[in-house]
Amino acid sequence: MKWLWAPAHFWPLWLGLFTVTFLIRESTALGTGRPQDTLSDWVWRVLHVSVNQPIQDWDALHFLVFGEWLVLFGWLTYHFFFHRFA
């Protein structure tokens, strides 16, 4: 159990815990027929995104959220899992 508390193992444990918690909550909302309680539905409502909306109609908030998504899921994935883009 000593290896479990090594600093190199903290981020995968927390990432796994948050991922499982998020997926349980999202699956429960979808499984009970309440898609309006999911995070994706909330994001779509807040950003006023419609289906097939052209990128010309985006405002600053759309680009900010998209940029944040690129950083979190693009850069961090390569940084943590492939040890690149340090």
- 73 assigned to some structural domain: yes
Instruction: Please compute the mean of the pLDDT values over residues 53-70 and round it to a whole number.
Output: 83
Does residue 52 sit in the same domain as residue 86? Answer: yes
Does residue 54 sit in the same domain as residue 85? Answer: yes
Q: What is the pLDDT of residue 3?
A: 60
pLDDT tens digits along 1-53: 566 666 666 767 777 888 898 889 888 988 898 888 888 788 778 777 777 77
Does residue 56 sit in the same domain as residue 82? Answer: yes
Q: Taking the mean position of all CA atoms in its chain, how far away is CA 34?
A: 20
Give me the helix-helix angle, 39-47 and 60-70, nearest 10°. Answer: 150
Does residue 59 sit in the same domain as residue 84? Answer: yes
Contact between residue 49 and residue 66 where contact means Cβ atoms under 8 Å apart: no
Question: By residue range, what is the domain housing residue 69?
Answer: 48-86
- Residue 59 CB contacts under 8 Å (≥ 6 apart), including other chains: none
Does residue 55 sit in the same domain as residue 85? Answer: yes
Does residue 28 sit in the same domain as residue 60? Answer: no
Number of domains in the chain: 2
* More confident position, 55 or 11: 55
pTM: 0.47
